[in-house]
Structure 1
Amino acid sequence: MQDIDKKIKVIVLGGATGSGKSDLAVRLAEEIGGEIVNADSMQVYRRLDIGTAKPSAEDLARVPHHLIDILDPDEEFTASEFRREAAAAIADIQSRGKRAIVVGGTGLYIRALLHGLVDSPTGDPELRRQFADVPGEELLRRLSLVDPETAARLYPNDRVRLIRALEVYAQTGRPISAFRSEHTFSEVHYQALKMAIRVERQELYRRIDLRVEKMLDDGLVEEVRSLLAAGYGRELKTMRSIGYKEVTAYLAGEMTLDEAVTLIKRDTRRYAKRQMTWFGKENDIYWLEYPGSFATILGHVIEFLA
């Protein structure tokens, strides 16, 4: 893995989907000579553009972005791999005299980058195959029997984390929560200014609803149809993500488009709520009011970098 220089200063911008992270990151990057390192677990995939709300072509042209479109939809990408790739990107940015701005709503990726990962067993493909066809509700029920602490934080559609938790228990006889409790996440790998945008819940939900409607107007159905036609099946993690899963069901005749849109909005709101809960538990977060206070935010960033 790329060596991590603990003297490097990085800007970290997290928060819920639809909170305005990407817009703020581009504006900050233009002001401080920065480049953006993506920390969204779905924007790393090629061909998943509309449903992942990737930065626009205009924003990509305004500011260099890293870890966007680096994988095909059927490839795996773990927090450990993100940490390695992000560290390499940050080192490259720093070597050219630029500033790294890590932006995204995948809290685990950000935590992995800044504080490392839990030392738990590596994945077992055979175990994962055994769990592949088990409904999410049943996965959650099984996990609640062996690791109620982790189960209480998850939902039936959190398949990746449910399977990972069950996999760890099957391999070790210990709940993954026990491994987490042994990792204090106290080691610091960068000097980081950690920021997140605070949006009142009803306003955030309003933005999410509008965003989903815009995705449909921009061609989300056609994007999913193209992915399916290219052989990317609904069993893939990418195709089970919010937006793609529901539209796939619509195209299969399992629900109407209106029903799919309703589910996308609901699940995105639930996801945003979990994101805000995650970032709310993080230490040393500087909470932002945006877009109203850009000058204040910029001043805080410049002071940190001085």
Structure 2
Amino acid sequence: MSENLLLIVGPTAVGKSNVAVQVAHKLNGEIVSADSMQVYKEFDIGTAKITPKEQQGIPHYMIDVVNAKQEFSVVHYRELALEAISEIHKKNKLPIMVGGTGLYVRAVIDPYKFQEQPVDNEYREELEKIASEQGSHFLHRQLEQVDPQAATRIHPNDLRRIVRALEYFRTTGEPISLSQDAKYSDNCIFDVTMIGLTMDRDKLYQRINARVDEMISSGLIEETKANLEKSYGSDTIPMGGIGYSQIIDYLHGKHSLDEAIRLIKRDTRRFAKRQLTWFRRDKRIKWIEVDKYPNFEAVVDEIIDLTENNKTGVVSE
């Protein structure tokens, strides 16, 4: 018999982390983060990392796993996340995977055959040179031409993944998205309940804008400066992410702080749209429109009902 797993996904700022903590309290669960940025140590504010106080005593896994200079891929994530889920099961608790990185989620719940990436070092260096001169967005537009599906999944600031996708297309002659999709199966390796949180787009965008303002007031600029002083440059994955990359440009005098904030908000809204596009393709997800519920507790109760109706076998404490 497959082991139980509760999955809570959705776009950034919809409230996944807070909901998951309350669900964990009621369903005797522990949380496994499925966020590709929160695995990095010393990147807290810009990744909206849940604080120890917000965790309310619920153990969280896959947060603060590596530093920014360490190699970390979906392969590493899958291995460590499966270990965490196994550990939670051994405690006779319910693992609750929470996050918005769709590739990480699917790598864990669906059978996935990892294949080595074809390498063309000369072409990779050529692409990196182009990016240094014209920016990652220029290469992202090239990716849109040869693999629009991958371009939807990959953020324009994520130079490493853009280069990898273009290199894959160059060396194999086929889109990397086709290869990734072909390696997935619909046979989930867990007895999984998949919950998606969403809300009215305008309300979500308001929450995103408010979150960015809170990040600035909480010290995003100072956190970015501190990580620059540790030699974490924009070539590292987290520093190339939304929030940090715009603040780096501000610190380097490329634009004003107001413009940096505007760009963070815009790019985060676009990121949320891409997340929804990814998750909407998975018909196993049961969607909850959180803004249609009278309060936070009602959303938590709905998730618990859906989980128990899916026969997880978990007894609430």
Whether TM-score is above 0.5 comes out as yes
> How big is the shift at 1:59?
2.4
Give the distance between the partners of 1:160 and 1:234, measured in 2 at CA.
Answer: 11
> How big is the shift at 1:152?
6.4
> How big is the shift at 1:154?
5.4
Q: Name the SS for the 1:45 alignment partner.
A: coil
Give the distance between the partners of 2:148 and 2:276, measured in 1 at CA.
Answer: 22
Counterparts in 2 of 1:94 and 1:131: CA distance versus 1, 3 Å: same
Q: Deviations over 1:228-283 (max 9, x none)?
A: 01111122121110000011111111111111000000000000011111111112
Alignment-derived partner of residue 159 in structure 1: 159
Counterparts in 2 of 1:24 and 1:136: CA distance versus 1, 3 Å: same
Task: Give the one of 101, 108, 113 matched to 1:113.
Answer: 108
Give the distance between the partners of 1:227 and 1:182, measured in 2 at CA.
Answer: 38
For 2:98, give the aligned amino acid. V
Structure 2 residue 137 is matched with structure 1 residue 131: no
For residues 238-253 of structure 1, the aligned pairs below 5 Å read 238-253=238-253
Would the aligned equivalents of 1:120 and 1:168 in 2 still touch at CA under 8 Å?
no
Q: Name the SS for the 1:232 alignment partner.
A: coil
Give the distance between the partners of 1:20 and 1:236, measured in 2 at CA.
Answer: 27
Alignment-derived partner of residue 301 in structure 1: 307
**Paired-residue identity, %:** 38
> How big is the shift at 1:118?
5.7
For 2:127, give the aligned amino acid. F
Counterparts in 2 of 1:125 and 1:275: CA distance versus 1, 3 Å: same
> How big is the shift at 1:97?
1.1
For 1:237, give the aligned amino acid. I
Would the aligned equivalents of 1:118 and 1:180 in 2 still touch at CA under 8 Å?
no
Greater alpha carbon shift after TM alignment, 20-29 vs 171-180? 171-180
Alignment-derived partner of residue 217 in structure 2: 217
Alignment-derived partner of residue 63 in structure 2: 68
For 1:109, give the aligned amino acid. Y
Q: Name the SS for the 2:203 alignment partner.
A: helix
For 1:48, give the aligned amino acid. F
Counterparts in 2 of 1:138 and 1:116: CA distance versus 1, 3 Å: farther
Unaligned 5+ segments in structure 2 are 291-295
Give the distance between the partners of 1:197 and 1:233, measured in 2 at CA.
Answer: 34
Would the aligned equivalents of 2:194 and 2:284 in 1 still touch at CA under 8 Å?
yes
> How big is the shift at 1:221?
0.5
Greater alpha carbon shift after TM alignment, 126-135 vs 227-236? 126-135
Would the aligned equivalents of 1:80 and 1:117 in 2 still touch at CA under 8 Å?
no
Alignment-derived partner of residue 259 in structure 1: 259
Give the distance between the partners of 2:43 and 2:78, measured in 1 at CA.
Answer: 21
Greater alpha carbon shift after TM alignment, 71-80 vs 176-185? 176-185
Greater alpha carbon shift after TM alignment, 61-70 vs 156-165? 156-165
RMSD across aligned positions (CA): 2.1
Counterparts in 2 of 1:141 and 1:254: CA distance versus 1, 3 Å: closer
> How big is the shift at 1:297?
1.9
Q: Name the SS for the 1:62 alignment partner.
A: coil
Give the distance between the partners of 2:270 and 2:94, measured in 1 at CA.
Answer: 33
For 1:296, give the aligned amino acid. E
Would the aligned equivalents of 1:105 and 1:275 in 2 still touch at CA under 8 Å?
yes
For residues 1-306 of structure 1, the aligned pairs below 5 Å read 7-117=2-112, 119-122=114-117, 124=119, 126=121, 128-133=124-129, 134=131, 135-144=135-144, 146-147=146-147, 150-151=150-151, 156-180=156-180, 182-290=182-290, 291=296, 292-304=298-310, 305-306=312-313
Give the distance between the partners of 1:154 and 1:227, measured in 2 at CA.
Answer: 24
Give the distance between the partners of 1:275 and 1:148, measured in 2 at CA.
Answer: 15
Q: Name the SS for the 1:253 alignment partner.
A: coil
When normalised by structure 1's length, the TM-score is 0.91
When normalised by structure 2's length, the TM-score is 0.88
Would the aligned equivalents of 2:152 and 2:274 in 1 still touch at CA under 8 Å?
no
